[in-house]
Chains A and B, each alone.
Chain A
Amino acid sequence: MILGGGTAGTMAANKLHKELPSGEWQITVIDADDNHRYQPGYLFMPFGTYTPDQVTKSRRAVLNSSVDLQYGEIDVVRPEEKVVALTDGREFAYDMLIIATGVSPRPDQTDGMLGPQWQESIFDFYSYDGSKALADKLKNWTGGRLVVNIVEMPIKCPVAPLEFTFLADSFFKDKGLRDQVDITYVTPLPGAFTKPIAAEAFGNTLQAKDIVVESDFMLMEIDNEKKALVSYDEREVPFDLLVTVPLNMGAEFVARSELGDELNLVPVDKFTQLSTQYDSIFALGDANDIPASKAGSVAHFEIDIFVENFLQHIAGMEMTHRFDGHANCFIETGDGKAMLIDFNYDYEPLPGKYPYAGVGPMNLLKESRVNHLGKLAFRWIYWNVLMPGRSMPLPPLMSLKGKKTELLDQNQSKEPAFSA
C-alpha cells in the first residue's frame, strides 16, 4: 500500500511492480486526485516559461497499468491493525505500507499570511494555484520592493527560492524594469544557503545581481497594514510584492496516526527509510525526516537503494544497502544559465565536473549554458525515465571523482561561536 502518487510514490510503485511477483503482491496507490504535478515546473510558471498544462499529467497514466490506484482522502493509519482508513469510510488492509505523501506549503501557520494581502501582494509559488496566481500578478506588476522569503527550513527544493530570485532579476531585466525593482532575499539561514562553500558561491551571485540578503530572519508575522515582514527579534522588512515560501509540513493524517514529528514528518532510519516505530512502514521522499534535501532527485536515488532493501526486508533478511543522502540539483541563475550541485549526508556541494571527472559536461557550482539546457531537458527525463522507473545512467550513491575536495580543508570555519 503506497500513500501518495507523486514523485516518490509513483517511482516506488513502478519500480516495485517490476521486482515483486504479481501472484504474491498487489500494489495499491492512494491519492486524493488524478493530477500528478511536475513540481519543478512551478518555478517557471510565474515567468510564463511553462504553462499550467505543461506541468500536469494523469496519475493513472504515469503509473503502471497493473498498479491499483484509489482516489480518496486519508483519514488515519492504524499501524497495529495494519489498516488505512479513508475519510469516505473505506478501509484498506496492508502487509507493507509506504508513506509518500510529501510535504505541503502551509500559509495558515504564519500569522498574517492569509490576511487581506494574500494573493493581492503576498504570493507563494510552491503550489499550483499559487504559482498560477503569481504569473498573473507579474504580468502587470510595474515595480517596487520585491521580497523573496523562506519562513523556515526544511523546505522542498531548498534552492528554489534562490532560483526564483535569480529568474526574477532576469525577468525584470528583459522587461526593461530592473531599475524599478528592489530585490531583497529574506532567509532564516545565516547566509544564502545551508552549506558554506555553496553559500559563498550563491552569495556572490546574489551580490553580482544587486540583490540584498537579510539573513538570520525568523519570521514572526506579516503586518498586512504596513505590508512588512516582522521577525521575532523585531526587525521589519517592507514589501510591495512578497513571494514567500510558507512553512512546509507533512500530511495531517500522519499527525492523526501519531506517526510524525512536530512537522508531521515520519521519523525513519536515514540509511533504509524504515520507520523507527513499525517494521511494516517505510516513508519515502519528502514525507520522511532524513537530514537530506527534500527534492525529487533525493527521492530518485533513495528509491534505487530502497527497492533493494525492501526485497531483503520482506524476505526476512537484514537490509544491507545504505542510502547516503545523495542529491543533485540544477540551479537556474537567470540569463539562460544554471549551476549544478551534487552532494550527500557527508559531503557538501563542491566545485568540479559532473558526471565525468575533468570532462563533465556539467559544471559543478559554476554558471553555464549547458547546465541550463540540462535543467530544461529534465522535464522530459522526469516523465519518460524517472517516473516509469527506468534506470538513469547515473549511480545512486555520490562519487567524489571530479570534485575539488581540497576546498573542504581550506574552508573549515574559523569564526568564533558568536560575534556579539
Chain B
Amino acid sequence: MATTTINGKEVVVDDEGFMTDYDQWDRQIAEGLATAIGVDMTDEHWKIIDFLRDDFKVKGETPTIRRVSSEGGVDIKRLFQLFPKKPAKKMSYIAGLPKPHGCV
C-alpha cells in the first residue's frame, strides 16, 4: 500500500493505483483519477460511477460490466464508448473501488 496525492488530496492506493478506502473518495478525486486515464467526465459518466458506488455499498463487491449494464441500465457497447478499451477497470478506478475480480 502507498499513498498518492490526487487533486491536492492524499489517498491510499494499491500497487496498481486503485484506491483502497471507500470513504476517502469524493467527486474531486474522481475527476483527478479520470483525467489521469484520459476520461472526460460527463453527466452520463457520473451516472454510471454513482451506480458503481451505490451498488458496492450494498453488495460489498465491484459490479461486473454485465451488472452495470443490466442493473444500471446502460448498454455494454455504450460503456465501451464512455470508458474505451477497458471499461470494467476504468469505471472501478474512477469510482475508487477495487477491480472487479474475474472469479475463478
Q: A154-B102, A194-B102, A327-B104 are in contact. List 19 more A-B contacts (CB 8 A).
A: A153-B103, A158-B104, A193-B104, A194-B101, A194-B104, A216-B86, A232-B79, A261-B67, A262-B66, A262-B67, A292-B104, A293-B104, A412-B15, A417-B17, A417-B18, A418-B86, A418-B89, A418-B93, A420-B38
Q: Is the CB of B37 within 8 A of A417?
A: yes
Chain A residue with Cβ nearest B75: A232
B81–chain A nearest beta-carbon distance, Å: 9
Q: Is the CB of B104 within 8 A of A218?
A: no
A222–chain B nearest beta-carbon distance, Å: 15
> Roughly how many angstroms separate A232 CA and B96 CA in the complex, as a whole number?
24
13 contacts between A and B (CB under 8 A): A153-B102, A193-B104, A194-B103, A232-B76, A233-B80, A233-B85, A261-B67, A343-B104, A413-B15, A416-B17, A417-B37, A418-B37, A418-B89
Q: A152 at the A/B interface (Cβ < 8 Å)? A: yes
Q: A139 at the A/B interface (Cβ < 8 Å)? A: no
Residues of B within 8 A of A (CB): 15-18, 37-38, 61, 65-67, 70-71, 76-77, 79-80, 84-86, 89-90, 93, 101-104
Q: A197 at the A/B interface (Cβ < 8 Å)? A: no
Residues of chain B with a CB closer than 8 A to A416's CB: 16-17
Q: Is the CB of A292 within 8 A of B65?
A: no
For window 311-335 of A, CB contacts with B under 8 Å fall at 327
Residues of A within 8 A of B (CB): 152-154, 158, 188-189, 193-195, 216, 218, 220, 232-233, 261-263, 291-293, 327, 343, 412-418, 420
Task: Choose among A188, A233, A263, A415 the residue that contacts B16 (Cβ–Cβ < 8 A).
Answer: A415
Q: Is the CB of B65 within 8 A of A218?
A: yes
Interface SS, A side: loop
B4–chain A nearest beta-carbon distance, Å: 11
Q: Is the CB of B104 within 8 A of A417?
A: no
- Known contacts: A233-B80, A418-B86. The answer to whether A291 contacts B103 by CB under 8 A is yes
Chain B residue with Cβ nearest A189: B102
Q: Is the CB of B102 within 8 A of A414?
A: no
Chain B residue with Cβ nearest A267: B59
Q: Is the CB of B71 within 8 A of A262?
A: yes
Q: Is the CB of A154 within 8 A of B85?
A: no
Residues of chain A with a CB closer than 8 A to B66's CB: 152, 262-263
